Structure 1
Amino acid sequence: SSVHNLHDDALDLQAALQTLIQNFTFCKGNFVYDVTHSMSQEMIYHILAIVKECMNNTMKHSNATVFTVTLREQPTFYQLILTDNGTSIKKQDTGIGLKNIRERVETMHGFLNIQTEQGFCLFITLPKEEIAHENINC
């Protein structure tokens, strides 16, 4: 019963991200998802919060016509790339939203790169979580 309840509480990241993109009416949304291994619920919640904050920033600070969420899995890390094709008057890297994103990335021991040359791009690298395995003697 406990294992069943944990599974019921598990959030499907791909479905949640697809729903966010479908409900994003500010501009056209694109979504690329290439992840095969499961993540912790904590990582999933952080990723969803980051995507929501970036969408909010796009609506507040951009005249974008396209917003793209890309999540890819590599052997030792995940790549989360959030882009829009909007223009901004100045580099928006000191606001509370980006501060919160930066803190979430740091919490997951990841790296954040912000580019503003051609639209706005958050390039986030998140290391895969270590899974502790106990030696079981039979």
Structure 2
Amino acid sequence: MELLLIFFKMEIHGKQLEIISCIWIVIGVISFFLLMFLLLTKQYHTKLKKITNHSIEIGIKLKTEYTQKLLCFQEKDRKRIAQELHDNVIGRFHLMRMNLQENNLHLLKNNLQTSMKIVRELSHNFTPLESNPGELSYLFEDYLAQIQQQVAVNYCVLQSPKKQLLSNEVKLNIFRIFQELINNILKHSKATEVHVQFRHSETSTALVVRDNGCGFNPNNTHNGIGLKNIIFRSSIIKGKFKFKTMLGKYTMFIIFIPQLNEHGHG
């Protein structure tokens, strides 16, 4: 009887040891997975911190580059204003003073009209579009009206009834690109005709400018300020553009801004 009791106690003790061993094994397994989880979490946070810091650095770099380019454009505009005022407006004022002294009213009238045209063009070039509530198509038309004595103009507007509103930023950059193109045509292309088409709908906006001038070699334009301005302004509004040109025949520029939302961004 006593041997049976001892055997029974030993069996119970063995089961207790087995249960305790299982418990320790479970605790060990849980501790292992917990430790692995903590290590992986730490590595994840470390990588996430690196990615975040890298993203911040890229953001700061892009912001700095944008600011530098903006300051460069502002400085370029200031030089253009100073040059236009010195070469054209101030010179015309001197001529008008001489006309008054000589009592030559005919030349005085001509110089006054020319001065008004120059000042008006300067106003278009440097006045922010935020202060102009007009449609972009009207701005194109008004600007083209100023050059009709220098080159024949063909202007076409295609706008859908459900056309989408453009933000001031998009209007400004499209209009500045347009001005850059027209100025290049007048200065370099020797063109006699300019064809402008403006298409605007609820899903996209496109501007096409074509002349019948001398064309250019695309390989010689990479360092041009005008092209850099067009590239930069196109990137701001997420536009896609391309040139088509043939020496002695024509140059055509196309910019396409797809999927504009209510704020004018893609």
TM-score normalized by structure 2? 0.44
Instruction: After TM superposition, give the deviation of residue 108 of structure 1 in Å.
Output: 0.7
* Higher RCO (C-alpha 8 Å, min separation 6): 1
Indicate which of 5, 11, 16 corresponds to 2:134: 11
- Does 2:108 correspond to 1:108? no
Q: CA RMSD in A?
A: 2.2
Partner of 2:100: none
The letter of the residue matching 2:227 is L
Moved more, 33-42 or 47-56: 33-42
Secondary structure in 2 matching 1:49: helix
Displaced runs of 4+ in structure 1, greater than 4 A?
Answer: none
Q: Residues 77 and 61 (structure 1 numbering): CA distance in 2 closer, same or farther, change over 3 Å? A: same
User: Which residues of structure 2 form unaligned runs of 5+?
Assistant: 1-129
Q: Deviations over 1:41-65 (max 9, x none)?
A: 2111111111110011111211111
Report the counterpart of residue 155 of structure 2 in structure 1: 31
CA radius of gyration, larger in: 2
> Conserved in 2, the CA contact under 8 Å of 1:108 and 1:127?
no
Relative to the length of structure 1, the TM-score reads: 0.80
Q: 2:254 aligns with which of 112, 123, 128?
A: 123
**1:52 aligned partner:** 179
Equivalent residue runs for 1:73-112 within 5 Å = 73-74=200-201, 76-88=203-215, 90-91=217-218, 93-94=221-222, 95-112=224-241
Whole-angstrom CA distance in 2 between matches of 1:21 and 1:128: 28
Conserved? CA contact 2:202–2:260, under 8 Å: no
Q: Quick check: which one's strand share is greater?
A: 1
Structure 1's 8 and 48: CA in aligned 2 closer, same or farther, altered over 3 A? closer
Q: How many residues align?
A: 126
